[in-house]
Amino acid sequence: MPKGYWVSVYPTIDDPEKLDAYNELAGVAVAAARGRVLASIGGRVDAHEAGIAERVVLIEFDSFEQAVAARASAVYQEALAELPDGFERDFRIVEGLH
């Protein structure tokens, strides 16, 4: 069964400290769904073409369905409610090849 991935790119973060509440709740949701953080805040980025060298987060789940369910979970919905105004990100759930 192919794995599932959350891929998030954050082109604009005006005040990173305002993400603390979101990060805490999102971490609980990811752990509950047995997700694994593969790349995160502070990791190096070598951006090309339209890429922006900003924060990138990559989280792996055992399946695409598990990744979708984690996004729909009540805990993650609480985390989303904590995202601050003026916040911008590109979030995708992607199915792996294997």
Residues written for the chain: 98
In the predicted model, is pLDDT for residue 73 greater than 80? Answer: yes
What CATH number does the domain containing 31 carry?
A: 3.30.70.100
What is the reported pLDDT for 53?
A: 74
In the predicted model, is pLDDT for residue 13 greater than 80? Answer: no
pLDDT averaged over the chain?
A: 90
CB count within 10 Å of CB 12 equals 11
User: What's the domain count of the chain?
Assistant: 1
Q: CA torsion sign, 5 to 33 to 56 to 77?
A: positive
* pTM, rounded to two decimals: 0.88
In the predicted model, is pLDDT for residue 60 greater than 90? Answer: yes
Range of 62's domain? 4-95
